[in-house]
Structure 1
Amino acid sequence: MDYTIIDAHAHLWIEQNTVVDGLPIRSLQNGRSEFMGEIRQMLPPFIVNGVNDAETFLSNMDYAQVAAAVITQEFIDGIQNDYLATVEERFPNRFIVCGMCEFRKPGFLNHAKELIDNGFKAIKIPAQRLLLKERRVMLNSEEMMDMFHYMEDKDVLLSIDLADGATQVPEMEEVIQECPDLRIAIGHFGMVTRPDWKEQIRLARHSNVMIESGGITWLFNDEFYPFKGAIKAIREAADLVGMEKLMWGSDYPRTITAITYKMSYDFVVKSSELTEEDKRLFLGENARNFYGFTDLPVLPYIKNMSE
């Protein structure tokens, strides 16, 4: 394969054991989790112990010829800073990991500074979880802006998922204006399939902002492989901001309960609607330049027994 492939949005955890909106999330057996009042297939069923670790992901990456990945975080998985710090230390040329704070409560600034001073190169905010019943945590609040300025000074990247549509876009516009050198990756492809998703995509007209497609196969799950709607959305986003502003992401491992890891990108490879240059940029080159990956492995194709 002629593409360097980098996954801009994946997750790892040792155990899910947390509460979101007052509802528990717990790892169970056979890849299942108790998830906010129901049982959900959180992992493929062959991951029987509920552990979503780096070694298993690397095996998937090597098989699918994915050179590197950005490990983000989400409140539904619990804060995984301690484990992720060891992941980047053990596999520095394969992973960049995002630290995460308890942004739903005041006082996160000092924790963010501690994470950054301890070596985290990126901070993740699952901003869609900040629209709390009791109050809304604003992305342009004083504490947030102090953190963003600190990140900008330290060249620490912001990975952020926004609520549907344009709900938080004005706040992000203020952050971008205040911190023009803060590198920002907006996830879930702007929550494509939801109304006003292009308002998030338009944020990438700013030079320091990129869009990554983590979760795009989840959002187009109803149409399923080969995700022609997702290809159309990628083309529409490229028309708005340029293909050089878009990056592939898988949202591993949740998305591979429905498809294989390789399927989460090869619908792009096999599409006739994208040029070879489009594919090269989207699948890896944009991420390599934006995140600063170096010393990437060259992964051989391993023939399947079924071939």
Structure 2
Amino acid sequence: MEKLIIDAHSHLWLNQDTVVNNQRICQLEPNRSRSLFFGEERQMLPPFMTDGQNTAERFLSNMDYAQVAAAVVTQEFIDGIQNSYLLQVESRYPNRFFTFGMLDYRNPDFMQNAPGVVEAFKGIKIPAARLPQQFLTDAMLQLLQLMEKQGKILGIELQDGDTQVGQMEELIQECPNLKIAIGHFGMVTREGWMSQISLARHKNVYVESGGITWLFNDEFYPFPSAIRAIKQAADEVGMDKLMWGSDYPRTITAITYKMSYDFVEKSADLTADEKRMFLGQNAKQFFGFGELPELPYIKNMSE
């Protein structure tokens, strides 16, 4: 395949209605694309998604148009736990999506439900950035050991800087065969972000760039500082450990879906091989995607 693009960080939901830190997150009144987010009105979805449903079919339309062959769907507490819907998505479109399951780690008894969720999904997400700083509890380590035993993938996002990096080093030592994808490019615009990137020096640890356009939003397209950060990370751990991610759909309230990767594709500061690895090849190998569709370029009406 001449052009292989895989999105290593996206979100889907049928209904967003949850509580985080005792504050409700939900769609506002019907026929609006905005959400109540920690007491503020936020544009959570593009304004034309007026029913609040961020579905696989809508995403596939964006993916096909942007020539994105496959996507990894992660989870976050602010979306609510979407296990039921994501199992349907992967069953319906097995060659296009890899979906992460998630448990409510805020509940001290979360391990009671863990065996079934781990069995059902190829990967499990832990949003450690929204958990207490000391997230690596005995119960969490028990979950990670179960995942390692069953060959599952861990998706994780950490608090800014090196706050939780020491626990990650402990986790990697305890579960040396567990495959790990660190999200949000180590929170690249925050002080100490390279400490998270450096975790990818371990053989089974990769880093994905979900949200990088959000983190550099003040600079905006074509995000030259994001390109410099990608090069800096590659110098530290190798381009073969880095993967592109969009953080769809929230990021496309500011830019189009295609813009979330073509600033990399059009950059003169990355080689063709570096772009190929970062935009698709690494994710294909890491997440184990099989045969993928070849998506033709479709002209816009404005061309």
TM-score, with length taken from structure 2: 0.98
**Is 2:136 the partner of 1:140?**
yes
Aligned to 1:203: 199
**Is 2:69 the partner of 1:76?**
no
State how 1:72-221 maps to structure 2 within 5 Å.
72-117=74-119, 119-131=120-132, 136=133, 138-221=134-217
CA distance, structure 1, for counterparts of residue 167 and residue 115 of structure 2: 22
CA distance, structure 2, for counterparts of residue 214 and residue 196 of structure 1: 18
Stretch moving more, 226-235 or 16-25:
16-25
SS at 1:66's partner residue? coil
Of 294, 297, 300 in structure 1, the residue corresponding to residue 293 of structure 2 is: 297
Aligned to 1:231: 227
The code of the aligned residue for 1:7 comes to D
In the TM superposition, what is the alpha-carbon distance from 1:287 to its structure 2 partner?
0.3
Aligned to 2:69: 67
Aligned residues: 301
Aligned to 2:16: 16
In the TM superposition, what is the alpha-carbon distance from 1:264 to its structure 2 partner?
0.1
| Cα-to-partner distance string for 1:76-110 (whole Å, 9 max, x where unaligned) | 01000010010000000000100000011211123
CA distance, structure 1, for counterparts of residue 32 and residue 96 of structure 2: 27
CA distance, structure 1, for counterparts of residue 278 and residue 181 of structure 2: 14
Q: Contact 1:139–1:175 (CA<8 Å) still a contact in 2? A: no
Gaps of 5+ in 1: none
**Is 2:245 the partner of 1:243?**
no
In the TM superposition, what is the alpha-carbon distance from 1:280 to its structure 2 partner?
0.1
In the TM superposition, what is the alpha-carbon distance from 1:139 to its structure 2 partner?
3.4
The code of the aligned residue for 1:228 comes to P
In the TM superposition, what is the alpha-carbon distance from 1:222 to its structure 2 partner?
0.1
CA distance, structure 2, for counterparts of residue 100 and residue 153 of structure 1: 18
In the TM superposition, what is the alpha-carbon distance from 1:16 to its structure 2 partner?
1.0
Of 270, 274, 283 in structure 2, the residue corresponding to residue 274 of structure 1 is: 270
Q: Which runs of 4+ in 1 moved over 6 A?
A: none
State how 1:249-268 maps to structure 2 within 5 Å.
249-268=245-264
In the TM superposition, what is the alpha-carbon distance from 1:140 to its structure 2 partner?
2.5
In the TM superposition, what is the alpha-carbon distance from 1:161 to its structure 2 partner?
0.6
TM-score, with length taken from structure 1: 0.97
CA distance, structure 2, for counterparts of residue 239 and residue 107 of structure 1: 42
Stretch moving more, 244-253 or 104-113:
104-113
The code of the aligned residue for 2:301 comes to M
Gaps of 5+ in 2: none
Aligned to 2:39: 37
The code of the aligned residue for 1:287 comes to A
In the TM superposition, what is the alpha-carbon distance from 1:112 to its structure 2 partner?
2.0
SS at 2:115's partner residue? helix
**Is 2:25 the partner of 1:25?**
yes
CA distance, structure 2, for counterparts of residue 152 and residue 63 of structure 1: 36
CA distance, structure 2, for counterparts of residue 278 and residue 294 of structure 1: 21
In the TM superposition, what is the alpha-carbon distance from 1:258 to its structure 2 partner?
0.1
| Cα-to-partner distance string for 1:157-181 (whole Å, 9 max, x where unaligned) | 0000111000110001000011010
Of 49, 53, 67 in structure 2, the residue corresponding to residue 51 of structure 1 is: 53
SS at 1:39's partner residue? strand
Aligned to 2:3: 3
CA distance, structure 2, for counterparts of residue 110 and residue 204 of structure 1: 31
